[in-house]
Structure 1
């Protein structure tokens, strides 16, 4: 699998960009999965549902399946948060995995930056940033695409997606 990250501060537009990128890549015949880091306590389950009751009763894993999708929920129950390599190893093979978040991890990334947020650029401190998608041109010699031009960002994604086997994390 090839992989590339979208890294940036909260509010930079990573999710918006990603949801615009996915159809661009699909039109090019690229099979894509995503891996999203959640910064806040999150839950895919809902109180009162059977699967929620199973977890609340102490199940370490609950797999919910239907004719449309399946989801496996694993309770950490005090265990450390799994690292990026572990999580990638749980994914089915596809052409490309786009990682949203995990900005401090070591993997090839495209920085997503929005000037109005007033946050600093990540690329001066992160040598894994291969390109920038932003509403302003960075003052460095990195490939750049406008944040609102999803097809141009798709070109960057495909240009800098790295083979997972060659990735040094």
Structure 2
């Protein structure tokens, strides 16, 4: 299985912003990274009226749209995909970041903002390996300043090296 690291936290904690900042920093360190973003809501990525959407609406199990630069795969799923099923759809990379999916048993960095009034995850989550926050916590876990993206990227690169 590919190396997987979760980026977990409550809604509004800054997970998406952090991942967006980390991707170019990790790429600059020579790492190839993919992202799986979880949504609790139904998603519609296709555009109504486009051929791909019409094929799906007509009953195609999967529709792949291909250009010289990228591709997109639209698939209907009768139930949520397991992590293994999600990973099997991705090309081999150095690291897959999971945004959300905080109930999966994978190592994760907890993202926490003091303005978010939700509790920390780490006291009850044995998979949290570090905290990225704008405030301190009473723990022995590594604590990374949320806005120091380079320090977080360094932590991830070292974690990858140490867990190889």
TM range, normalised to the smaller chain? over 0.9
1:84 aligned to 2:121? no
1:35 aligned to 2:36? yes
Question: Could you say what secondary structure the match of 2:111 adopts?
Answer: strand
Aligned position for 2:56? 55
CA–CA distance in 1 between the matches of 2:160 and 2:7?
11
Alignment of 1:134-149 (within 5 A): 134-149=133-148
Aligned position for 2:120? 121
> In the TM superposition, what whole-angstrom CA distance separates every residue of 1:11-38 from its partner, at most 9, and x where no partner exists?
0000000000001111111111111111
Question: Could you say what secondary structure the match of 1:35 adopts?
Answer: strand
Call closer, same or farther: CA 1:73–1:162 in 2, change over 3 Å: farther
Question: Could you say what secondary structure the match of 1:117 adopts?
Answer: coil
Aligned position for 2:93? 94
CA–CA distance in 1 between the matches of 2:120 and 2:161?
22
TM-aligned CA deviation for residue 91 of structure 1: 1.0
Call closer, same or farther: CA 1:28–1:162 in 2, change over 3 Å: closer
Call closer, same or farther: CA 1:8–1:162 in 2, change over 3 Å: farther
Structure 2 residues not aligned, in runs of 5+: none
Number of equivalences = 163
Mapped contact 1:108–1:161 kept (Cα < 8 A): no
Normalized against structure 2, the TM-score is what?
0.94
TM-aligned CA deviation for residue 159 of structure 1: 3.0
CA–CA distance in 1 between the matches of 2:85 and 2:136?
35
Aligned position for 1:155? 154
Question: Could you say what secondary structure the match of 2:19 adopts?
Answer: helix
Mapped contact 1:108–1:160 kept (Cα < 8 A): no
Structure 1 residues not aligned, in runs of 5+: none
Instruction: Give RMSD over aligned pairs.
Output: 1.7
